[in-house]
Structure 1
Amino acid sequence: MSTIDTLKDRTTPVFDPAAVTVIFVLGGPGAGKGTQCSNLVSQYGFSHLSAGDLLRAEQNRPDSEFGDLIRHHIRNGLIVPMEVTIALLENSMREILNSSPSPPSSSSSPDKTRRGRFLIDGFPRKLDQAHKFEEAVVPARFVLFYDCPEAEMERRLLERGKTSGREDDNADSIRKRFRTFLDTSLPVVDYFDSQRRVVRIDATPEPDAVFAETRRHLAERLGPEFA
């Protein structure tokens, strides 16, 4: 049975939520998710996983189980099957956890505890992805949602585009990406919000102020280490 078929059939999470902490990080393009994730990684030992980065790396990996499928979907403007993205996330989480001499639940040492902390950036983009990840991998603790007005995100990305070299850092592409975010990702935020599992943070201030607010909310949710 293929990895995708196995994942489709699985209805029990593979990781213990008492040992593994997953936080989904969502926000529109230019909201500053990457900056805040970098701060959390450097100060608190989170592992930062980007679904987009994993897909791009996988399609170029020799002998990849999913490389041809990913290339086909991207080339034809199709959405990569969610099972592929979830499998890549799960595999990355397992590699990080296994890099410790023993599972994170077997010791209370800070290093092992930190190995079980994951920020998953830009995922889930749709509700079915959220449901399947929580069903098959591990329930997320909550969503960090960086809320930023469209005009401010456009301003930031246009400024970034002056030096980034990214083809999608232009006004037309930015507006399309924002519309896609509203249509697909906001329902995910609303779903978790209905379960009181959303931390909504104003992303318009300077990054240091946004990070201070992020820390405040993490301390409330995860403990005084983040205060």
Structure 2
Amino acid sequence: MGTVVDAVNQEVNGSLPTEKKVKVVFVLGGPGSGKGTQCTNIVEHFGFTHLSAGDLLREEIKSGSENGTMIQNMIKEGKIVPSEVTVKLLQRAMQESDNDKFLIDGFPRNEENRAAFENVTGIVPEFVLFFDCSEEEMERRLLGRNQGRVDDNIETIRKRFNVFVESSLPVIEHYRSREKVHVIDAGKPIEDVFKTVKNIFMTA
């Protein structure tokens, strides 16, 4: 039986049209930094398609495909889904879309993700939006929105902060060294944050 990577390769490579030139913007920030809200605004104002790696994995599992079953089994066994699998799902979503401008939210989560994305797709992001927010503010927001979400308790929140700092900050530093990172003060009110975001997209 093939691996999950083989299954995705077969599925993706067998169904993609010819390569198209796409524009990608990575959107990074800790849990509660307001990424999702700002992605919605960017989609509305600038015509991007919003892709979430987590959503694509969940959709693949829900689809009941062989590939989805393998992903689900890996998650159940506590294994990390290989970067290449997530990248192939993102690649397929971009190829199947009529759009050529994409916001990729919450990915790459670490340096391995970043390298896999560039190696598999051949795409380097136009730029990276980093929603920078203090841990205290993110904690306040996450606890404030707690509507029965199991991942919004204080211990889990702090673990997620630590994972973000350890894994994602090296990605930000990589792109910062290439002058591709726009740091946004995400502690401000939503409207003020979006003013900053708008200026970046209008001048990029």
Q: Does TM-score exceed 0.5, indicating one fold?
A: yes
Other-structure match for 2:95: 94
Any conservation in 1 of the 2:32–2:142 contact (CA below 8 Å)?
A: yes
- Cα offsets for 1:7-42 (capped at 9, x unmatched): 9xxxxxx855xx311000000000000000000111
Using the TM superposition, give the Cα deviation of residue 187 of structure 1 relative to its aligned residue in structure 2, in angstroms.
Answer: 0.6
CA spacing shift, 1:15–1:27, aligned 2, 3 Å: farther
TM-score (norm 1): 0.80
Using the TM superposition, give the Cα deviation of residue 139 of structure 1 relative to its aligned residue in structure 2, in angstroms.
Answer: 1.6
- Provide the aligned length of Structure 1 versus Structure 2: 193
In the alignment, structure 1 residue 206 sits paired with structure 2 residue 150: no
> Structure 2 counterpart of 1:159, which letter?
G
Give the SS at the match of 1:80. coil
Other-structure match for 1:54: 56
Any conservation in 2 of the 1:66–1:84 contact (CA below 8 Å)?
A: no
128, 132, 146: which is aligned to 2:116?
132
Other-structure match for 2:155: 172
Taking the TM superposition and a 5 Å limit, the aligned residue runs for 1:154-169 are 154-161=139-146, 163=147, 165-169=148-152
Give the SS at the match of 1:66. helix
Other-structure match for 2:138: 153
TM-score (norm 2): 0.89
Give the SS at the match of 1:93. helix
Dislocated runs of 4+, deviation >2 Å: 1-7
Using the TM superposition, give the Cα deviation of residue 220 of structure 1 relative to its aligned residue in structure 2, in angstroms.
Answer: 2.1
> Structure 2 counterpart of 1:147, which letter?
D
Other-structure match for 1:29: 31
Counterpart CA distance in 1 for 2:110 and 2:7 is 21
Using the aligned pairs only, state the percent identity.
Answer: 48
Using the TM superposition, give the Cα deviation of residue 65 of structure 1 relative to its aligned residue in structure 2, in angstroms.
Answer: 3.7
In the alignment, structure 1 residue 142 sits paired with structure 2 residue 127: yes
Any conservation in 2 of the 1:49–1:89 contact (CA below 8 Å)?
A: yes
